[in-house]
Structure 1
Amino acid sequence: MCRRGGAKHVSQSDSDKGKQQGGGARAGEGRSAGRPATSGQSDKITARTEDFAAWYQDVIRQGDLAEAAEVVKGAMVIKPHGYAIWEKIQADLDRRFKETGHKNAYFPLLIPESFLRREAEHVEGFSPELAVVTIGGGKTLEEPYVIRPTSETIIGHFFARWIESWRDLPLLINQWANVVRWELRTRLFLRTTEFLWQEGHTAHATAEEARAETLRMLGVYADFAESVMAMPVIQGRKTQAEKFAGAVHSFAIEAMMQNGLALQAGTSHDLGQNFGKAFNVRFQNKDKELDYVWQTSWGVSTRLIGGLIMSHSDDQGLVLPPRLAPIHVVIVPIYRSDEERAAVLEQAQRLATDLRAQRLAGQALSVEVDDREGYKPGFKYFHWEQRGVPLRLELGPRDLAAGQAVCKRRDAAAKQTLPLAGLPERVLAELEAMQRELLDRARQRLREHTVLANSFEELAAILEPASAEQGGGKFVMVHLKDDAACDAKIKELKASVRCLPLVDAHDGPGKCIITGEPVAQRAVVAKAY
């Protein structure tokens, strides 16, 4: 199998000849002006251990995922390859939302400023991040509009018009949209002024139904992160100081990046009746009494792509789990003459057709035959490697004669030869194995970098290393009171309380490391993005 260890190497394969002799260019042709001859001429990616932040930016640049939109403060341009990953995320999550009874809708981008003032905690939480429109059609607006930072208020307004009776409940809505939050310190995919996301909004007849929905959608996010992104997460409740502005309780999935820092990858909020009361969203219950609805909201964003990069990529560039890769397999033909080219391309196209008949997690394999002229095979290998394509097949005249192809899995160091007979099924097995092994490695990292601390001094010592972002970060499990003063004390360490895990995998009750008061369980404390 084409994975680490035990790989069978070819003594003189067509891929070796191609790199030595420039195979892949049509015989008699030179390279087009300005095109790189070898991978060595491409930009270098900073090593993770040298500068993790620079490495992250390099992977995005070399993977052709996105770039800063310098003419718009804090915004980014998501390039086609990056957007294709977002489309894969959208497609999988959209299917899950519809399977759980949610329907898509779209609400206005511009929200009357007065709407935000109706829920005091909500407006206070978002005020520093708001972008406000004050002029329209060349005239000062009678009431300014806020560019959507989130949609609880505008959706609450329309829910009040749509809901009259318990028969209208539950109302389960999802919206795919962009939002604007005026960020001061931005980083591509992780924190930008404008970003893409989905936001679910639901209304229920009881508090119990709303809480069940909140946790159900948190579970949907967790399953997606683990089964599709190969990114293990901790599901937990946010502290009262860290909860969403206007929520009764907030829940999140927290993931550990390769450097040990935390990334909040998704949130789900139990809004209680706060927005129902603010927007007069009432219904007649089964006892014919008027009551306010109980609401939830939940969302994930393009931040997931940042998490994907920092979970799996390496010093050669982007690594994508097969279930999220826009292209699963690339076939690189190798030849030196027109005659060889015709024969190799014919077999490559046949192989591509057979591969596309295979299905990974219900989706047909996406296969690219790189028949570009004027590029050496080595350059093509480098090109697709940096874009995270999970598996590469190299095919030349000698391979055809031997009835084989050379296989290179993106997450493995070694190549291997595989027989053409049964190759599509073997490739599918390799992709499935890669998906599993990426998750296994990420789970191992989470286990190895999660530690316990039983005092504030011990916690401070663990979080102290200046090189935390370079790979020394930890998830520290501590007994901590859910109290604003305790949260503030943790922030003195340039860390935060990430969540109170829904499943306490450690030692249960204990004494708060700050106040000494008894608490029910440990919390996750970490430095985070």
Structure 2
Amino acid sequence: MARVLTPRAEDFPRWYQDLISKAELADNGPVRGTMVIRPTAYALWENMVADLDRRIKDTGAQNAYFPLFIPESYLTREAEHVEGFSPELAVVTHGGGKQLEEPVVVRPTSETVIGEFMAKWTQSYRDLPLLLNQWANVVRWEMRPRIFLRTSEFLWQEGHTAHADEEDARTYARRILHDVYQDFMESELAIPVHVGRKTDRERFAGATSTYPLEAMMGDGKALQLGTSHELGQNFARAFNIAFSGKDGGQELAWTTSWGVTTRMIGALIMVHGDDNGMRVPPRLAPIQAYVMVVKDGEGIPATAAQIVADLKAAGVRVQLNDRTDTPFGRRAVDAELKGYPIRIELGPRDLAEGNVTLARRIEGTKTAVPVNGVVKAVIEALEADQKALYDAALAHREARTFEVSTVDEAIEAAANGFAKISWDAVGVEGEAKANQSAVSVRCLVRADGSVPLSQDEPGLVAYLARSY
């Protein structure tokens, strides 16, 4: 197959940009830092939304929608929060041809505006927990944009909850972290993630605890795929989210927030893509089986239509391409670029023998399969290839994770992957030193891999890396 992408090993960032363009995933928007998500990538996002939305609702959360514009005064109520977001804010000062009495901020996140309404809707402990989620766009004025990874506007899901006590808030934040996010990323995206705790230096502005999900990309760098935050009573205090407790006294609620974004599309590209394009995890793929007519011939249209019908009946997402007016090679390259897991190729020669060709994008093989065995072969291949992607990503992460004992060694190791080191050997001073070399502590975990309650727990393990 002719080379259409810069090889990953030669120039990983150029390969990433080439793939986005050649696979027709996205374009740069007319305003610097914005993006246009094209149908191929948006179909991936729709499948992510559908799966995550079901999982989130299973935890008891309900969807709502809150305004895009937030009074600037809302953000100033929580000092740490506004300080953390100030460099990224887009502020509107004029509307309808007139200067506004108070500037409004285009939402960078919605803790403040949702906090305002949580206070309005919460009077008694009987109103809690209040579990809200919204699917929306947000704006963070990005100085160094990169499509899907860091853009000035992006799509996301943001959950916000209020609870009667700290333990309930913590339990829920961690349920989202593990049961929703981690399970989705590992079982659907086929991306292994480290789930841990951010250091105090790295935690979300205004949070008391930030729990990230960190993945290794194909070039060894880290990408944060999502976060769940305990906000303590900081926002409840700022917005007076108070309620009458069981004893009749007034208490402040404990709140959480959590979110994932279109950044997951970028992760999917950088973890699973190869020199021929994307490799889309079968469970997530909008098109799982791509039926391609190689050349017109007797019986081919009817056979293709029957294969499509049989696959649909078996629950496989399938699409027919019978455009023989376009050269087959060009269509095959396009299918490779877009990462369709299975191609079923029908040509007169194979069909005369009662076969079709089954091309597996992830395994990279082509085999002859009897027409009456196509459905079984496709279903088996989809499941095997989902596992193969995860196993390959995990093996890659393990091969490029280096156990070290000093901060200097960690900085050196981070040039090639993740550094695994005792947090006691890093500490606050070591973290600051690493940051000077563009290396950060991605997360802290206990020795058994579980999530700590504090960075001060003894015996913690730190993962350091360069990141996107």
Structure 2 counterpart of 1:391, from 338, 342, 357: 342
- 1:253-292 mapped onto 2 (5 Å cutoff): 253-292=213-252
Structure 2 counterpart of 1:64, from 24, 27, 34: 24
Task: Work out which of the two has the higher radius of gyration on C-alpha atoms and give 1 or 2.
Answer: 1
Match of 2:140 in 1: 181
Cα shift at 1:149: 0.1
Identity level (%) = 50
Match of 1:347 in 2: 303
Structure 2 counterpart of 1:430, from 332, 357, 381: 381
Could you say if the C-alpha distance between residues 502 and 140 of structure 1 is closer, same or farther in structure 2, counting changes exceeding 3 Å?
A: farther
Does residue 521 of structure 1 match 2:460? Answer: yes
CA distance in 1, matches of 2:465, 2:384: 31
Does residue 207 of structure 1 match 2:207? Answer: no
Cα shift at 1:488: 1.5
Match of 2:358 in 1: 407
Deviation by residue 1:31-53 (Cα, 9 ceiling, x = unmatched)? xxxxxxxx74xx72011111000
Deviation by residue 1:411-434 (Cα, 9 ceiling, x = unmatched)? 123211111123212201100100
Secondary structure at the counterpart of residue 421 of structure 1 = helix
Does residue 419 of structure 1 match 2:374? Answer: no
On the 8 A contact 1:395/1:405 being kept in 2, the answer is yes
CA distance in 1, matches of 2:191, 2:90: 33
Does residue 367 of structure 1 match 2:327? Answer: no
On the 8 A contact 1:67/1:77 being kept in 2, the answer is yes
Match of 1:100 in 2: 59
CA distance in 1, matches of 2:209, 2:200: 7
On the 8 A contact 2:159/2:259 being kept in 1, the answer is yes
Match for 1:267: what amino acid? T
Match of 1:494 in 2: 438
Give the RMSD, CA atoms, in angstroms: 1.8
Secondary structure at the counterpart of residue 407 of structure 1 = strand
Match of 1:23 in 2: none
Match of 2:253 in 1: 293
Cα shift at 1:403: 1.5
Point out where structure 1 has 5 or more consecutive residues left out of the alignment. 1-38, 359-363
Secondary structure at the counterpart of residue 354 of structure 1 = helix
CA distance in 2, matches of 1:354, 1:83: 27
Match of 1:477 in 2: 421
CA distance in 2, matches of 1:421, 1:154: 58
Deviation by residue 1:210-245 (Cα, 9 ceiling, x = unmatched)? 011111111110110000000000100000010000
Match for 1:296: what amino acid? T
Match of 1:172 in 2: 131
On the 8 A contact 1:334/1:344 being kept in 2, the answer is no
Deviation by residue 1:449-481 (Cα, 9 ceiling, x = unmatched)? 112111123223323xxxx4xxx3234333347
On the 8 A contact 2:442/2:464 being kept in 1, the answer is yes
Does residue 307 of structure 1 match 2:263? Answer: no
Cα shift at 1:397: 2.1
The number of residue pairs the alignment matches comes to 464
On the 8 A contact 2:278/2:336 being kept in 1, the answer is yes
Could you say if the C-alpha distance between residues 485 and 117 of structure 1 is closer, same or farther in structure 2, counting changes exceeding 3 Å?
A: farther
On the 8 A contact 1:235/1:502 being kept in 2, the answer is no
Could you say if the C-alpha distance between residues 205 and 420 of structure 1 is closer, same or farther in structure 2, counting changes exceeding 3 Å?
A: same
Could you say if the C-alpha distance between residues 481 and 213 of structure 1 is closer, same or farther in structure 2, counting changes exceeding 3 Å?
A: farther
Does residue 50 of structure 1 match 2:10? Answer: yes
On the 8 A contact 2:293/2:324 being kept in 1, the answer is no
Match for 1:526: what amino acid? A
Match for 1:100: what amino acid? T
On the 8 A contact 1:452/1:478 being kept in 2, the answer is no
On the 8 A contact 1:166/1:285 being kept in 2, the answer is yes
On the 8 A contact 2:406/2:425 being kept in 1, the answer is no
State the structure with bigger RCO (CA 8 A, min sep 6), 1 or 2: 1
Match of 2:200 in 1: 240
CA distance in 1, matches of 2:350, 2:457: 68
- 1:457-468 mapped onto 2 (5 Å cutoff): 457-463=408-414, 468=415
Cα shift at 1:445: 1.2
Secondary structure at the counterpart of residue 315 of structure 1 = coil
CA distance in 2, matches of 1:412, 1:213: 39
Point out where structure 2 has 5 or more consecutive residues left out of the alignment. none
On the 8 A contact 2:447/2:459 being kept in 1, the answer is no
Secondary structure at the counterpart of residue 224 of structure 2 = strand
CA distance in 2, matches of 1:451, 1:500: 15
Could you say if the C-alpha distance between residues 150 and 366 of structure 1 is closer, same or farther in structure 2, counting changes exceeding 3 Å?
A: same
Deviation by residue 1:5-36 (Cα, 9 ceiling, x = unmatched)? xxxxxxxxxxxxxxxxxxxxxxxxxxxxxxxx
Secondary structure at the counterpart of residue 265 of structure 2 = helix
Match of 1:454 in 2: 405
Match for 2:255: what amino acid? Q
Deviation by residue 1:272-324 (Cα, 9 ceiling, x = unmatched)? 01000100010111111110100000000000000000110000011100111
Cα shift at 1:482: 8.1
Secondary structure at the counterpart of residue 314 of structure 1 = coil
CA distance in 2, matches of 1:175, 1:199: 6
Secondary structure at the counterpart of residue 186 of structure 2 = helix
On the 8 A contact 1:452/1:476 being kept in 2, the answer is yes
Match for 2:402: what amino acid? V
Could you say if the C-alpha distance between residues 120 and 226 of structure 1 is closer, same or farther in structure 2, counting changes exceeding 3 Å?
A: same
TM-score (norm 2): 0.96
CA distance in 1, matches of 2:293, 2:192: 37
Which is worse superposed, 293-302 or 418-427? 418-427
